[in-house]
């Protein structure tokens, strides 16, 4: 998935319905990509975020007879998904990301 620029089937990804707090990282190299605080329900079938943590690169993608913006991991170049301009405020962006491209680091809670 990360190297072949594939897309998982919609509504099948392990992180689509994840509500836990933490950081989504690249499954290939561990780079921090998205905070759970920026995840939202887009109803598109893939985990969606309105903002990235900065460890991404954007590239014009003209495959499949359309023009889109591909989202890649800045550290390893792995394919993560695509970026669209139909997300919520404050950015108006929707990073539509494959669960198979992600791992999740759950936020540690302090014990008192």
Which tokens in the block code for residue 45? 């079938």
Contact, 55 vs 5, CB < 8 A? no
96 is catalytic: yes
**CA atoms of 90 and 74, how far apart (whole Å):** 23
The one catalytic residue in 26, 73, 76, 96 is: 96
Phi, psi of 49 (to 5 degrees): -135, 145
Residue among 49, 48, 45, 47 nearest 11 (CA): 45
**Residues with catalytic function:** 96
């Amino acid at each position: 998935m990360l190297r072949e620029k594939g897309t998982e089937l919609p509504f099948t990804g392990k992180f689509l319905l994840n509500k836990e707090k933490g950081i989504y990282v690249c499954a290939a190299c561990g780079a921090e990509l998205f905070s759970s605080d920026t995840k939202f329900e887009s109803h598109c079938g893939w985990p969606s975020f309105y903002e990235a943590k900065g460890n991404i690169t954007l590239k014009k993608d003209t495959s499949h007879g359309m023009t889109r913006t591909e989202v890649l991991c800045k550290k390893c170049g792995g394919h993560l998904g695509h970026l669209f301009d139909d997300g919520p405020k404050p950015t108006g962006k929707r990073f539509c990301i494959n669960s198979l491209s992600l791992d999740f680091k759950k936020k540690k809670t302090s014990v008192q």
